[in-house]
Amino acid sequence: MSFSVRILGSGSAVPTARRNPTSQYIQCSSRHILIDCGEGTQLQMRKFGVKFQKLDIILISHLHGDHYFGLMGLLSTMHLLGRLKELLIFGPKGLKEIVDLQLKHGNGGFGYDIVFKEMDSNTHDMLFEDNKIAIRSFPLKHKISTHGFTITEKQKEAKLIKAQIEQDNVLVEHYHLLKKGIDVQLEDGNVLRSEDYTEPAPNAKVYAFCSDTAYFPEVVNEFLGADILYHEATFTDKYVDRAKATMHSTASEAANIAVRSAVKKLLIGHISARFDTGETHLLEARRVFTETYLAEDGDEIRL
Amino acid sequence: MSFSVRILGSGSAVPTARRNPTSQYIQCSSRHILIDCGEGTQLQMRKFGVKFQKLDIILISHLHGDHYFGLMGLLSTMHLLGRLKELLIFGPKGLKEIVDLQLKHGNGGFGYDIVFKEMDSNTHDMLFEDNKIAIRSFPLKHKISTHGFTITEKQKEAKLIKAQIEQDNVLVEHYHLLKKGIDVQLEDGNVLRSEDYTEPAPNAKVYAFCSDTAYFPEVVNEFLGADILYHEATFTDKYVDRAKATMHSTASEAANIAVRSAVKKLLIGHISARFDTGETHLLEARRVFTETYLAEDGDEIRL
């Protein structure tokens, strides 16, 4: 099953030529998900070849502008390009009011339906579930109500070993149980052992996204063992006081969260515009957690 | 006196890699004015070296998103970069409500004052005046309340011819009247003729901006003889029906307005994303009005 993350914006509140404000495009199974939508996201999508009209779901972590000022423009462009498919938007209380007010004054509307769902600011929640993926939200610790998200594949059934099945003439009617890991007792007394006829499906993968947040170790239970954790890392160690004052994290703090949550890889971003590169962030994080990577606009990461 | 127009966005509702949505930066005397602020304007300003903090005045022509979705981001960035200087914003009714709602939900505010002035949708109006420039608005013909603007230099005094003044030992006390074009009668009966001691100041210049509008010849009285008229030209002749339906103009119609208003130069923009280039627009407009130029993002035009 395909599962990938495209970084559309790896910057912080002040955009730069190198880093757009936060946005990520997640393709998981047949679902196409946008997390946050800073100003200029639609142009980044165009630049990196992301198809607007495939989008199913938009998740907005919080109502600081660098995480949603590109939303109205993207919604409008999808309308102008003829979108008809319903769109699901999950966001904090207030987002719908903001969209509706701008539509009212523009005397407009969209040719497709938007289903808005407001997130509860205090609890974690199952936002969306189908037979292949699940999306959950959880609260972070920031100046205003802010959420993180996990996108989780569902565990697939084991895969039949075709050669073995054919060699032993296993009947089709037994496939179902074997794939579920259940042994089958035949009428002649023989037993077909699931492990002889199947190989396990790859482990279902988990992507976790931690938007703007102060250092908040309580959060680790939300994504223990995730394959990739994206965590904001606005500042380097030198600016730890500034991080505290603005309720953001340093790269070392992000790495500390990665260690505590035993994730496989850490991806850091939301790099403040005061830094020309994120090299120092990366060095400082890797001292704490080796498997750290720095997000750059345009990067595609496969899970 | 310096007077220039920087094109920050020459595109239409759907942005492309080549054309951002509408925005222009006008520097006139010591005033720094932004007309419209489509999504991504702040990045365009950065790209083309326009200093954010010099901005004095923002004019928003109407509340279709491609003319203002970049405003909140720009206002936020100016705040984050430490702006303290008051900012004047002129826009349609509703703009202040939109800005205030987003500030409320972001739990934020700016470190500088914004003075909002709403424009009357039906009349032309003097928006701003100091001793060097005047800014006026006038109604256009579009789907929602939409304004055009003129930015006008004030006529300067004549300039003294220094060599002549020195040769005839003209006293300083007479400069003032001479520069105003008034002859001076001396006590000895001689007359100092203003025309002998001064050369006329260059004519004061006028820039006119016609935002989204259907073909609307009544508007020409607002900018008769202007040095440069910017007029939207979303479509080519082939799409005249589409222009009518969406209340936009074709390039030929824009050129027709230029002829009727006897402006010196016409600048066309707001090119629909359906066109790879504006070459056809330019050809069609020049058939009607030779002095037509096509706006491209980044162009700087000096008046």
Task: Identify the burial level of A187 via C-beta atoms within 10 angstroms of its C-beta, where 0-12 means exposed, 13-18 middle and 19 or more buried.
Answer: exposed
Are the CB atoms for A112 and A87 separated by under 8 Å? yes
Cβ(B261)–Cβ(B138) under 8 Å?
Answer: no
pLDDT one-digit tens code per residue, A128-139: 999 999 999 999
In angstroms, what separates the C-alpha of B45 from chain A's closest C-alpha? 11
**Percent helix, strand and coil across chain B, each rounded to 5?**
30, 25, 45
Strand B198-199 vs strand B159-160: parallel, antiparallel, or unpaired?
A: antiparallel
Q: Is B245 exposed, middle or buried (0-12, 13-18, 19+ CB in 10 A)?
A: exposed
CA–CA separation, A90 and A96 (whole Å): 10
Task: Locate the chain B residue with the closest alpha carbon to A18.
Answer: B43
pTM: 0.90
For A71-125, the pLDDT digits (tens) are 999 999 999 999 999 999 999 999 999 999 999 999 888 999 999 999 987 889 9
Instruction: Calculate the average pLDDT of chain A.
Output: 95
- Residues in chain A closer than 8 A to B46 (CB atoms): 15-17
Closest Cα in chain A to B81: A14
Q: Do B101 and A97 touch (CB under 8 A)?
A: yes
For chain B, list residues whose CB is within 8 angstroms of any CB belonging to chain A: 13-17, 21, 39-40, 42-43, 46-47, 63-66, 69-70, 72-73, 76-77, 80-81, 92, 94-95, 97-98, 101-102, 104-108, 143-144
Q: Decide: residue A174, CB within 10 A, 0-12 exposed, 13-18 middle, 19+ buried.
A: middle
Q: For residue A15, what pLDDT is reported?
A: 87
Nearest-CA distance B34 → chain A (Å): 18
Partner residue facing B43 (CB), from A40, A64, A107 = A40
CA–CA distance, B224 with B136 (Å, rounded to integer): 14
CB contact under 8 A, A102 and B77: no
Nearest CA in chain B to A40: B40
Chain B residues in contact with A95 (beta carbon < 8 A): 105
Residue by residue, pLDDT tens for chain B (303 residues) are 589 999 999 999 998 889 999 999 999 999 999 999 999 999 999 999 999 889 999 999 999 999 999 999 999 999 999 999 999 999 999 999 999 999 999 988 899 999 999 997 788 999 999 999 999 999 999 999 999 999 999 988 889 999 999 999 999 999 999 998 899 998 888 999 999 999 988 889 999 999 999 999 999 999 999 999 999 999 999 999 999 999 999 999 999 999 999 999 999 999 999 999 999 999 999 999 999 999 999 999 999
**HSE of A96 in the Cβ direction (CA atoms, 13 Å)?**
13
Q: Any idea how long chain B is?
A: 303
Instruction: Using CB atoms, pick whichever of A39, A81, A101 lies closest to residue B98.
Output: A101
Residue A265 CB contacts under 8 Å (≥ 6 apart), including other chains = A227, A228, A229, A291, A292, A293
Q: Pick from B39, B95, B144: which is nearest to A73 by CB?
A: B39
* Residues belonging to chain A with any Cβ–Cβ distance to chain B shorter than 8 Å: 13-17, 21, 39-40, 42-43, 46-47, 63-66, 69-70, 72-73, 76-77, 80-81, 92, 94-95, 97-98, 101-102, 104-108, 143-144
Q: Which of A66, A212, A227, A297 is catalytic?
A: A66
Cα–Cα nearest to A198, from A237, A165, A170: A165
**Residue to substitute from A8, A36, A39, interface B, most B β-carbons within 10 A:** A39
A66 catalytic? Reply is yes
Task: Please judge whether A73 and B65 are an interchain contact, meaning their C-beta atoms are less than 8 angstroms apart.
Answer: yes
- Distance separating alpha carbons of residues A182 and A266, to the nearest angstrom: 36
CA distance A17 to B46: 8
Q: Where are the domains of chain A?
A: 3-156+202-302, 159-199
How would you write the pLDDT of chain A (303 residues) with one tens digit per residue? 589 999 999 999 998 889 999 999 999 999 999 999 999 999 999 999 999 889 999 999 999 999 999 999 999 999 999 999 999 999 999 999 999 999 999 988 899 999 999 998 788 999 999 999 999 999 999 999 999 999 999 988 889 999 999 999 999 999 999 998 899 999 888 999 999 999 988 889 999 999 999 999 999 999 999 999 999 999 999 999 999 999 999 999 999 999 999 999 999 999 999 999 999 999 999 999 999 999 999 999 999
Nearest CA among A226, A296, A222, A212 for reference residue A254: A212
- Nearest CB to A43; choose among B15, B105, B144: B15
CA–CA–CA angle B227, B232, B235 (5° rounding): 135
The closest CB to that of A40, out of B40, B97, B98, belongs to B40
Task: Using an 8 Å CB-CB cutoff, list chain B residues near A76.
Answer: 13, 65-66, 69
Taking an 8 Å cut-off on Cβ atoms, the answer to whether A65 and B43 are in contact is no
Q: Which of A101, A106, A144 sits opposite B97 (nearest CB)?
A: A101
DSSP of B43-69, one letter per residue? HHHHHTT--GGG--EEE---SSGGGTT
How confident is the model at residue A211, as a pLDDT?
A: 96
Return the CA Rg of chain B: 22
The topology under which CATH files domain A3-156+202-302 is Metallo-beta-lactamase; Chain A (3.60.15)
